[in-house]
């Protein structure tokens, strides 16, 4: 593998330098590949390997359009990854449904006397949770999963989805309400404010 | 616990990023960085589509595949298209070897990039198992190190087509293929040999091809007969070159010779096998609906079937504008053509009209 520079410039600096020296872009992969892959993997499963590669290829090709004053590099990469997931939205939905079915068929951990009641309760939520994700509208799911899995803030989500922050709020409100409703009686949710989650 | 915590802790998990997949993606990026010649390999195999298994995934890491090129030195001279761009006929994209006889019941899938002698062909049964042929001009020294020691049952040398070959056999626990078929204990085998001077083969098989004798038989059946890949793009703008093809994701990519950032993408994804919902690729309408339109969607026809055409912009960067045409073949395969905004609608439709896909 190509050796990486000894210095540790910021992500934005690397992108800026890569405009003249493209190899400066490579350390961004080393910094963020695992995080982006995990996000993709939770959404599209095995396709994450392909989409991870695509994410960084797209990012490299579009690096001239990156605006450091608009959003940091990590959220920018999540935005690209999210956009790539759009091309596989049916795969994503079907995956959630399959996981929900699988969880429904699984005997779970009830046979393990070492499991706590809380853990058993939590395990029972995996299926309904996956099913709930499958029912969300695409834009709502994007916002929710960028918040929950990519751990972006509202402003970052707005930036990478290129929508007003109010739209992000409404999408998140809708997605979270629908998720709670889908879980119904098994929901362990305690009321929290949106601000607490940012 | 709130819903976000619940999603983080109990939401679906994905597969781990294996060193092989990481290397694959990193190599692809470095290949892109090493540009700008459009006839370079730009990214390696679509790993997940070929095989779900450490060996195949890892193998792909070092194989920025490729086959025969096509592109501006087209078989016909340029001719003006109805939209203004001059269109040229392209050469067929091929993989240089064929198994003889063709393995029954298996679907081939090819990956390659223009100007490289590396190439990948995957042959898959409906259950997602099968074998993969990796070609390279030099010995894939990395191949022997791609397995977990605990998975290996035996290794050594044998003979394939009269040549000495190194083999590894073993089994992988709890493996699920992309066809959503899971195995508690899936046998695998790998053969590596120099088939001809400067042509190394890394042959990897799973399931019934995880048997060494069966895999060696496949290796011995390989003949020097180029076979066309299933997705062909018969017309492309003059001055544009083919870059790569990934049939596992149904994609063939061309770029503008003068500005490789300008990309012409063609994609045809077959209908998912019955019951394999995870591979459902949606409809032409859904593909169009997944982009952000600038103008209203225009109904049209491509190859005599209903199609849709739209001018759209990128979700992340609205300054990136493009055309997308989408249509569905009679067997349910959904095809799209994506071009820069500067193409005319007629240009897009002319290119789309030259797309062929053999199921």
Helix (H, G, I), strand (E, B) or coil at A192: coil
Residue A179 lies in a domain: no
Bridge partners of B190? B168, B204
Bridge partners of B112? B119, B245
**Interatomic CA distance for residues B47 and B17, integer angstroms:** 12
**Which CATH number do you get for residue A59?**
1.10.1740.10
Does residue B290 carry a pLDDT above 90?
no
Is B43–A53 a contact, with Cβ atoms under 8 angstroms apart?
A: yes
**Residue B185: band (very low, low, confident or very high) from pLDDT cuts 50, 70, 90:** confident
Residue A193, chain B, CB below 8 Å: the answer is no
Is B17–A192 a contact, with Cβ atoms under 8 angstroms apart?
A: no
**β strands within A34-191, DSSP E:** none
Does residue A196 carry a pLDDT above 80?
no
Summarize pLDDT for B238-255 with one digit per residue, the tens.
999 988 887 766 778 888
Of A53, A88, A148, nearest to B25 by CB-CB distance is A53
Task: Quickly tell me which residue has 């077959």 as its tokens.
Answer: B270
Summarize pLDDT for A32-56 with one digit per residue, the tens.
998 999 999 999 998 899 999 999 9
Q: Count the domains in chain A.
A: 1
Is B57–A49 a contact, with Cβ atoms under 8 angstroms apart?
A: yes
Residue A22 lies in a domain: yes
Residue A98 lies in a domain: no
- What is the distance in angstroms between the Cα of B159 and the nearest Cα belonging to chain A? 33
Is B282–A89 a contact, with Cβ atoms under 8 angstroms apart?
A: yes
* Domain membership of residue A61 as a residue range: 10-87
**β-strands B227-228, B94-95 pairing:** antiparallel
Mean pLDDT of B244-270: 81
Is B14–A45 a contact, with Cβ atoms under 8 angstroms apart?
A: yes
Distance, C-alpha B33 to centroid of its chain: 20
Distance, C-alpha B175 to centroid of its chain: 21
Residue A100 lies in a domain: no
**Residue B106: band (very low, low, confident or very high) from pLDDT cuts 50, 70, 90:** very high
Residue A93 lies in a domain: no
Residue of A nearest to B51 (CA): A46
- What is the distance in angstroms between the Cα of B15 and the nearest Cα belonging to chain A? 6
Residue A15, chain B, CB below 8 Å: the answer is no
- Using a CB-CB distance cutoff of 8 angstroms, which residues of chain B are in contact with residue A56? 25, 28-29
Query: Which pLDDT score is estimated for A105?
Result: 64
**Residue A121: band (very low, low, confident or very high) from pLDDT cuts 50, 70, 90:** low
Return residues 262-291 of B near A (CB < 8 Å): 277-282, 286-287, 290-291
Lowest mean pLDDT among B59-68, B205-214, B282-291: B59-68
The helix or strand, by DSSP H or E, that contains position B123, with its residue range, turns out to be strand B119-124
Residue A20 lies in a domain: yes
Domain positions in chain B? 16-228, 250-357
Q: What pTM does this model have?
A: 0.55
For residue A163 the two structure tokens come to: 């929508």
CATH architecture of B250-357: 3-Layer(aba) Sandwich (3.40)
Bridge partners of B260? none
Give first-to-last CA distance, chain B, whole Å: 49
Residue A92 lies in a domain: no
- Using a CB-CB distance cutoff of 8 angstroms, which residues of chain B are in contact with residue A70? none
Bin A23: left if φ > 0, else alpha if -120 < ψ < 50, else beta: alpha
Does residue A3 carry a pLDDT above 60?
no
Mean pLDDT of B311-318: 70
- What is the distance in angstroms between the Cα of A60 and the nearest Cα belonging to chain B? 8
Residue A114 lies in a domain: no
Residue B142, chain A, CB below 8 Å: the answer is no
The pLDDT > 70 percentage for chain A reads 79
- Using a CB-CB distance cutoff of 8 angstroms, which residues of chain A are in contact with residue B317? 62, 65
For residue A151 the two structure tokens come to: 């751990």
Helix (H, G, I), strand (E, B) or coil at B139: coil
Residue B9, chain A, CB below 8 Å: the answer is yes
**Interatomic CA distance for residues B49 and A51, integer angstroms:** 12
């Amino acid at each position: 593998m190509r050796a990486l520079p000894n210095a540790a410039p910021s992500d934005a600096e690397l992108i800026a330098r890569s405009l003249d020296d493209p190899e400066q872009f490579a350390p961004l992969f080393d910094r963020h590949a695992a995080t982006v892959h995990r996000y993709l993997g939770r959404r599209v499963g095995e396709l994450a390997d392909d989409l991870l590669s695509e994410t960084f290829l797209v990012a490299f090709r579009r690096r001239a359009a990156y605006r450091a004053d608009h959003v940091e590099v990590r959220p920018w990469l999540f935005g690209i990854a999210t956009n790539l997931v759009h091309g596989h939205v049916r795969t994503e939905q079907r995956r959630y449904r399959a996981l929900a079915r699988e969880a429904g068929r699984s005997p779970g951990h009830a046979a393990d006397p070492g499991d706590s009641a809380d853990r058993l309760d939590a395990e029972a939520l995996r299926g309904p949770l996956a099913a709930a994700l499958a029912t969300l509208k695409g834009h709502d799911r994007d916002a929710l999963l960028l918040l929950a899995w990519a751990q972006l803030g509202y402003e970052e989500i707005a930036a990478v989805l290129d929508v007003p922050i109010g739209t992000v709020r409404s999408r998140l409100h809708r997605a979270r309400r629908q998720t709670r409703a889908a879980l119904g009686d098994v929901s362990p949710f305690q009321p929290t404010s949106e601000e607490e989650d940012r | 616990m709130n819903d976000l915590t619940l999603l983080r802790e109990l939401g679906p998990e994905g597969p781990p990023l294996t060193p092989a997949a990481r290397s694959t993606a990193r190599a692809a990026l470095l290949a892109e960085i090493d540009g700008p010649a459009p006839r370079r390999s730009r990214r390696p195999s679509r790993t997940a589509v070929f095989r779900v298994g450490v060996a195949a995934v890892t193998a792909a890491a070092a194989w920025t595949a490729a086959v025969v090129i096509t592109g501006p030195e087209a078989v016909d001279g340029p001719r003006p298209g109805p939209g203004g761009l001059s269109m040229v006929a392209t050469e067929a994209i091929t993989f240089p070897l064929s198994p003889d006889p063709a393995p029954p019941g298996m679907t081939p899938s090819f990956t390659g990039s223009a100007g490289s002698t590396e190439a990948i062909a995957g042959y898959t049964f409906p259950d997602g198992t099968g074998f993969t042929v990796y070609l390279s001009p030099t010995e894939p020294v990395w191949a022997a190190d791609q397995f977990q020691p605990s998975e290996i049952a035996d290794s050594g040398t044998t003979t394939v087509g009269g040549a000495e070959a190194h083999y590894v056999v073993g089994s992988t626990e709890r493996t699920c293929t992309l066809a959503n078929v899971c195995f508690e204990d899936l046998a695998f085998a790998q053969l590596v040999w120099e088939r001809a001077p400067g042509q190394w083969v890394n042959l990897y098989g799973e399931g019934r091809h995880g048997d060494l004798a069966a895999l060696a038989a496949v290796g011995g059946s390989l003949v020097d007969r180029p076979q066309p890949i299933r997705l062909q793009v018969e017309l492309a703008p003059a001055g544009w070159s083919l870059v790569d093809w990934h049939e596992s994701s149904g994609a063939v990519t061309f770029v503008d010779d003068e500005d490789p950032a300008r990309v012409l993408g063609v994609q045809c994804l077959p209908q998912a096998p019955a019951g394999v919902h995870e591979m459902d690729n949606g409809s032409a309408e859904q593909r169009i609906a997944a982009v952000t339109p600038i103008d209203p969607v225009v109904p049209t026809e491509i190859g005599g079937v209903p199609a849709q055409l739209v001018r759209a912009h990128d979700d992340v960067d609205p300054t990136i504008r493009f055309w997308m045409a989408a249509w569905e073949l009679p067997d349910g395969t959904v095809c799209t053509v994506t071009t820069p905004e500067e193409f005319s609608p007629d240009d897009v439709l002319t290119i789309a009209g030259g797309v062929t896909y053999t199921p």
